[in-house]
Chains A and B, each alone.
Chain A
Amino acid sequence: MLASDNVLSDPKVWISGLALLVSICSAFFSWRSGRNAARALAISENQEKRRQPQLGVYLVVNGFRRLLPKRQLFGFLVSISNPTDINNSVARAELKIAYLIENDVSASCRIQHNPTLGETIGNETASSASVFALPLRVDAHQTVSGWFVFSLDNDVIGKGTVDGHSLVLEDTHGISTETDPIMVREWTDETKND
């Protein structure tokens, strides 16, 4: 009898081989289920992340400023997106003006969005402008566009030097979103000047 026949006919050998095969399969299945669990956790985390309130503010064009005798009017055309899975709304919109006072000490004040100013600014072209009214509903995965308008009395800044403008939006959950500093252009009605 050959030695190899002896090895295969020995039940100890093939039972050991079978046990090794089963353990390899078992290791493979546990690795695969572990990988699936990790993927499921990642998906759950992403879903949870999408349920955290968050608003994206995009400036469609730079801000505009119109100088009036005792005050300045500011207008910003923005689009607000809600990339999350939950409905949200903008509860407060403010213009934050950073400025320098004596000895280059920086200060910043906040002005509230005033939708009634839309009529003040209004002319033939602006009559079609959509000025946001607050609170502003922004449903899940939706984007809304419109104007935020602000009025700043000249006395507020006084002799301070304006350093920058930015928009601060606060949602229903009290979470604030602030834009990067915004360039503001002068806005004049040349037809009225003529």
Chain B
Amino acid sequence: MKPKTIEVQLRHEREAHPVRIVADAAVSTRGRHGGRLLPLLLLDTTDRPDIVEFIRVHGSFGPGDVKIQWGKIEAEGHEGTASLFLKFIRPMELFMVLEFNIARQGFLVEQILIGQGVYLAKAEGEDDRFIKNPDRPKVIVEVPDTGFRDTWDAKFHKHVAEDFRTRGLSRSESRQAARSVIDEWRKFSSLKMRDIHE
């Protein structure tokens, strides 16, 4: 199927640039989001005070609304990437793009697709890690199935296999290794905390 190209209306130029992911973690909380294991992304908000404000404001409100779209930025320097476009409507209006290098960060995308959600939090510095402050304010974004899975599976296998090829594996070995590592990751990502009543 031919990919569809859409233009996104931005409120400010800063929204056009993907928000850099400083570090990531995986969080599973009993009784929340079905206990599913969700990736947590620590974001570089140096140029995005509006994201900091969004995370702060979200603490004062209940659940909000967000429109999500998987895709790819059509511009130079974005080859081999997949992007998650997030347009928040409530409680704050905000647009952000999270870009993932498929070979290196594709496992985060895989985890988002399996867990159907992602946590977003602010990184306090370049060497920040979630474990340094697990109680920091964070926002959970639900990412339901939008039909991206089929497209993603093919892309993910291809890029992981290519990555193995550059590390010296043969063509058939790299395919097999990609299949194997993705299967193992899926098993791990499917883990979930049992609910209190289970």
A and B, one complex? yes
Q: Give the Cβ gap from A153 to chain B, nearest Cβ, in Å.
A: 6
**Who on chain A is nearest to B60 by CB?**
A156
| Contact with B53, one of A94, A107, A111, A153 (Cβ below 8 angstroms) | A107
Most buried by B among A109, A158, A160: A109
**Who on chain B is nearest to A158 by CB?**
B56
Interface hits, A134-158 → B, CB 8 Å = 153, 155-156, 158
B126 at the A interface (CB under 8 A): no
Q: Are B56 and A109 in contact (CB under 8 A)?
A: no
Q: Give the Cβ gap from B64 to chain A, nearest Cβ, in Å.
A: 9
Chain A residues within 8 Å of B90, by CB: 94, 110
B10 at the A interface (CB under 8 A): no
Q: Mark B32-55, 1 if CB is under 8 A from A, else 0.
A: 000000000000000001100110
Mark the stretch among A17-25, A97-105, A119-127, A179-187 that contacts chain B: A97-105
Q: Are A109 and B49 in contact (CB under 8 A)?
A: no
Chain B residues within 8 Å of A110, by CB: 89-93
Interface secondary structure of B, over-half rule? mixed
Q: Are B50 and A153 in contact (CB under 8 A)?
A: no
Q: Are B50 and A101 in contact (CB under 8 A)?
A: yes
| Contact with B50, one of A94, A105, A111, A156 (Cβ below 8 angstroms) | A105
| Contact with B49, one of A94, A103, A111 (Cβ below 8 angstroms) | A103
Query: Beyond A101-B50, A107-B53, is A155–B60 a contact (Cβ under 8 Å)?
Result: yes
Point out residues on A near B: beta carbons under 8 Å.
94, 96, 101-103, 105-111, 153, 155-156, 158, 160
The contact sample of 15 A-B pairs, CB cut-off 8 A, is: A94-B90, A101-B49, A103-B49, A105-B49, A105-B50, A106-B11, A107-B94, A108-B92, A109-B57, A109-B91, A109-B92, A110-B89, A111-B91, A156-B57, A156-B60
Point out residues on B near A: beta carbons under 8 Å.
11-12, 49-50, 53-54, 56-57, 60-61, 89-94
